[in-house]
Amino acid sequence: MNSITKKRVRISDAVMYGLIYLCAGISVLLIAGIIIYVFAKGFSQISWEFLTTTTSVLKGTVGIAGNILNTLYIIVLTMLLATPIGVGAAIYLNEYAKPGRLVRMIELATETLAGIPSIIFGMFGMMFFGTTLGLKYSILTGTLTLTLMVLPLITRNTQEALKTVPNSYRHGAVGLGAGKWYTIRTILLPSAMPGIITGAILAVGRIVGESAALLYTAGSSDLLPATAQAYLDKILQPGGTLTIQLYLSAQDGEFDVAFGIALVLLVIVLAINMATKFLAKKFDVNRLK
């Protein structure tokens, strides 16, 4: 019965194989189900009007242009703040710091920051930026809150990218008489760029999907600014992102709008996912060179 040519199939093995394939299938079914369901429910909602107007009872329009704008504001402002700080922190950790207490503390702080739930960031942002600094519910309050939230993501990705730059590059530069900052600027950062951009795109994805940290910091207005000046003032005024509007619409039972927004969000998320894939491939090619 037990020979080399005729293997006995253990029943427990077969059962385990079945379970393993089943579990792997669950993830695929879930994501396929989510995408199909959201597209089926949201597609009829999507129209030029939905994407380019704001919801107004007077005009009888239902639209999310204000929320799209708010989301863009928060993405751009957060990335403008978080990218230099996060990349800079990674440069310090990787290129300047000598192993010791400070480095351990910074790394521990970065890890802790990464583990803090977004609702805590939201409460802190509301009370610190909103109340203590007097920024109230505003896009800026939301931006500052999210900056802290995405910081670890950018720092870690940049660190990983810097680690893959061969040491010979650094030695070569120093040997030619370049200073440290000059080396970083002209050699290390360009070599690590795909990794840094991947981290930045992941951070954008995190910002687009974030809701709990924004509900009580950026607030929920969905209006569009009327004048050029108002576009600037907007930063100090409340603004609800797409996720916040989705939440509020679902609360009010306006599921058509909610699914319209869900579809827009999913498309953005899919695009971001593809962009990181593309960059990862490029990154690998660079490393082989």
Partner 1 sequence: MGKKYMSETIAKVVFTIFAIVAIVAVCSITVYMIRLGTPALLEVGVIDLLFGTEWKPTAGEPVFGIFYVILTSIAGTVMALLIGVPVGLLTAVFLAEVGNKKLVNIVQPAVELLAAVPSVIYGLLGIMILKPFMYQLELMIYKDAPEHQFTGGANFISAILVLAIMILPTVINISASSIRAVQPSIKSASLALGATKIQTIFKVVLPAAKSGIMTAVVLGMGRALGEAMAIAMVAGGAVNLPLPFNSVRFLTTLIVGEMSYSSGLHREALFTIGLVLFVFILFVNIFLTRIIKKGEAE
Rounded to 5 degrees, what angle do the CA atoms 238, 132, 220 make? 15
DSSP 43: G
Of 36, 76, 84, 232, the one binding partner 1 by CB under 8 A: 84
Minimal distance, residue 164 CB to partner 1, in Å: 17
Is there binding between residue 120 and partner 1 (CB under 8 A)? Answer: yes
Of 51, 133, 270, 285, the one binding partner 1 by CB under 8 A: 270
Of 118, 141, 143, 237, the one binding partner 1 by CB under 8 A: 118
Phi/psi for 62 (5° steps) reads -125, 115
Stretch that binds partner 1, among 57-65, 66-74, 118-126, 188-196 (CB under 8 A): 118-126
Of 39, 46, 61, 92, the one binding partner 1 by CB under 8 A: 92
249 touches 229 (CB < 8 A)? no
Of 124 and 225, CB closest to partner 1:
124
Q: Which two tokens stand for residue 86?
A: 């996060």
Q: Which residues from 51-80 bind partner 1, rule CB under 8 A?
A: none
179 touches 206 (CB < 8 A)? no
213 touches 119 (CB < 8 A)? yes
Is there binding between residue 187 and partner 1 (CB under 8 A)? Answer: no
Q: What is the CB-side half-sphere exposure of residue 10 using CA atoms within 13 A?
A: 4
Write out the H or E segment, with its range, that includes residue 54.
Answer: strand 54-56
| 147: three-class secondary structure by DSSP | helix
Q: Which residues from 19-48 bind partner 1, rule CB under 8 A?
A: 19-24, 26-28, 30-32, 34-35, 37-38, 41
Of 106 and 225, CB closest to partner 1:
106
Is there binding between residue 105 and partner 1 (CB under 8 A)? Answer: yes
Minimal distance, residue 176 CB to partner 1, in Å: 14
Of 193 and 272, CB closest to partner 1:
272
Classify burial at 175, counting beta carbons within 10 Å of its beta carbon; exposed 0-12, middle 13-18, buried 19 or more. Answer: exposed
Q: Which residues from 225-264 bind partner 1, rule CB under 8 A?
A: 243, 246-247, 250, 255, 258-259, 262
Of 93, 139, 162, 165, the one binding partner 1 by CB under 8 A: 93
Q: Which two tokens stand for residue 27?
A: 């993830």
Amino acid at 111: E
Computed on alpha carbons and rounded to an integer, the radius of gyration of the chain in Å comes to: 24
Q: Which residues from 121-160 bind partner 1, rule CB under 8 A?
A: 121, 123-124, 127-128, 148, 151-152, 155
What per-residue string of b and e applies to 60-76 under the rule 16 or more CB within 10 Å gives b? eebbbbbbbbbbebbbe
DSSP 184: I
Of 18 and 59, CB closest to partner 1:
18
Task: Lay out the site mask for partner 1 across 199-218 (x = CB under 8 A, - = otherwise).
Answer: ------x--xxxxx--xx--
Stretch that binds partner 1, among 47-55, 61-69, 88-96, 230-238 (CB under 8 A): 88-96
Is there binding between residue 10 and partner 1 (CB under 8 A)? Answer: yes
Of 152 and 195, CB closest to partner 1:
152
How many C-beta neighbours within 10 Å does residue 239 have?
27
